[in-house]
């Protein structure tokens, strides 16, 4: 299914797009701004289907010829701009797929919808080329720019588009989706929801990721016993972490949630709101041995590790400093 009712959260965006469809006041250009996997692509798909639906309602009927074509990815008047270079949308990409095509009237629908995913990857020249279409679009053209970094777009682009910002989906709705639609067990859904922070696509990916389960097991085995380790064992642990270099943000998130649980339990002595409540014995032990100041230093250490890794500081050095900070304050 692909209707507005299937979008999790994002009530303001749904209301805006439904209103545009019901009143016929559809803009020529929209920007959907939100982090990767937050659901921008699905919203664009639903809106494009609704725009082209032969029944003309505020929801795509999913039964007409246009909707069936859109669901199979073959609607000729819904054009997805592609790019060969993984990190760049070039000026030629925009000229060939948008500017040269937009003057040709729709093949079978009232409109032509162009979806530019990862719009932040457009070069300045590509954006300036797109600007020509945005300044004088044909009456039938609608452009949907999807981006994870709206600041990468030129002010002249922003001024000619309706900007819609994605918001984190409520945890309750994400949990319901995982449990009811994907049949994820409750305990696993709880962990995925905590890490996804309102990002439905990320929650879905975590729920089905074997790598995440492996990283989780490795992180918990370290965090539960790090206060008993000597320097050599800590260095060995750092070497094991290097296996997960690509997913290091997941590893750091796991550590952050663990110490969030430690802090919460230390302050409340309540198990009910813990993410890792199945590890209550280890959490209780860590909470008893750690001071509030020590936990705060660990959390600051995790934030520092993220910043250093983003700045391309040596990976092993960053992780060694982090592990020592955790060891000294646990």
pLDDT band at residue 246 using 50, 70 and 90 as cut-offs:
low
pTM confidence score: 0.77
Same domain (yes/no): 84, 226 = no
Same domain (yes/no): 15, 159 = yes
Q: What pLDDT does residue 278 have? A: 83
Same domain (yes/no): 160, 232 = no
325: in domain: yes
Same domain (yes/no): 160, 217 = no
187: in domain: no
Contact in structure between 113 and 144 (CB atoms under 8 Å): yes
pLDDT at 287 over 80: yes
pLDDT band at residue 148 using 50, 70 and 90 as cut-offs:
very high
The domain boundary residue, chosen from 110, 131, 165:
165
| Domain CATH for 291 | 1.20.272.10
pLDDT band at residue 173 using 50, 70 and 90 as cut-offs:
very high
Over the stretch 54-68, which tens digit does the pLDDT of each residue have? Answer: 998 899 999 999 999
188: in domain: no
Same domain (yes/no): 135, 30 = yes
Over the stretch 89-133, which tens digit does the pLDDT of each residue have? Answer: 999 999 999 999 999 999 999 999 999 999 999 999 999 999 999
Contact in structure between 171 and 140 (CB atoms under 8 Å): no
pLDDT band at residue 207 using 50, 70 and 90 as cut-offs:
confident
pLDDT at 203 over 60: yes
Contact in structure between 119 and 31 (CB atoms under 8 Å): yes
The domain boundary residue, chosen from 111, 135, 165:
165
Same domain (yes/no): 265, 143 = no
Same domain (yes/no): 112, 12 = yes
170: in domain: no
237: in domain: yes
Number of domains in the chain: 2
Half-sphere exposure of 151 (CA within 13 A, CB side): 1
Same domain (yes/no): 34, 156 = yes
DSSP letters spanning 29-95 = EEEEE--TTSSHHHHHHHHHHHHH-TT-SSS--S-SHHHHHHHTT--TTEEE---SSTT-B-HHHHI
pLDDT band at residue 141 using 50, 70 and 90 as cut-offs:
very high
pLDDT at 1 over 60: yes
| Domain CATH for 56 | 3.40.50.300
Mean pLDDT, the chain, integer:
90
pLDDT at 23 over 60: yes
pLDDT band at residue 245 using 50, 70 and 90 as cut-offs:
low
83: in domain: yes
86: in domain: yes
The domain boundary residue, chosen from 165, 187, 220:
165
Q: What pLDDT does residue 92 have? A: 95
265: in domain: yes
> What range defines the domain where residue 14 resides?
4-165
The sheet carrying 141-147 orders its strands as 78-80, 112-116, 141-147, 29-33, 162-165
């Amino acid at each position: 299914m692909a209707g507005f009712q299937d979008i999790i959260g994002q009530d303001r965006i749904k209301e805006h797009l439904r209103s545009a469809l019901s009143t016929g006041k559809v803009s020529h250009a929209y920007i959907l701004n939100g982090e990767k996997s937050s659901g921008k692509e699905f919203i664009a798909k639903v809106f494009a289907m609704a725009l082209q639906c032969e029944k003309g309602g505020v929801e795509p009927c999913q039964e007409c010829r246009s909707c069936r074509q859109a669901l199979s990815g073959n609607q000729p008047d819904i054009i997805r701009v592609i790019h060969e270079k993984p990190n760049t949308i070039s000026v030629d990409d925009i000229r060939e797929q948008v500017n040269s095509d937009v003057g040709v009237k729709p093949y079978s629908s009232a409109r032509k919808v162009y979806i530019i995913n990862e719009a932040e990857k457009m070069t300045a020249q590509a954006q300036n080329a797109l600007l020509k279409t945005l300044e004088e679009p044909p009456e039938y053209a609608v452009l949907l720019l999807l981006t994870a970094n709206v600041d990468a777009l030129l002010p002249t682009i922003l001024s000619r588009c309706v900007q819609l910002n994605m918001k984190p989906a409520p945890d309750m709705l994400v949990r319901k989706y995982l449990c009811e639609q994907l049949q994820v067990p409750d305990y696993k859904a709880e962990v995925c929801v905590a890490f996804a922070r309102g990002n439905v696509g990320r929650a879905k990916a975590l729920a089905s990721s074997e790598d995440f389960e492996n990283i989780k097991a490795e992180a918990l085995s370290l965090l539960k016993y790090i206060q008993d380790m000597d320097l050599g064992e800590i260095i060995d642990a750092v070497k094991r972490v290097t296996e997960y270099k690509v997913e290091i943000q997941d590893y750091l998130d796991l550590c952050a949630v663990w110490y969030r649980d430690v802090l919460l339990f230390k302050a409340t002595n309540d198990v009910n709101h813990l993410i890792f409540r199945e590890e209550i014995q280890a959490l209780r032990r860590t909470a008893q041995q750690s001071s509030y100041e020590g936990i705060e230093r660990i959390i600051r250490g995790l934030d520092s590790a993220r910043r250093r890794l983003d700045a391309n500081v040596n990976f092993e050095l960053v992780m060694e400093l982090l592990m020592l900070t955790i060891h000294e304050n646990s």
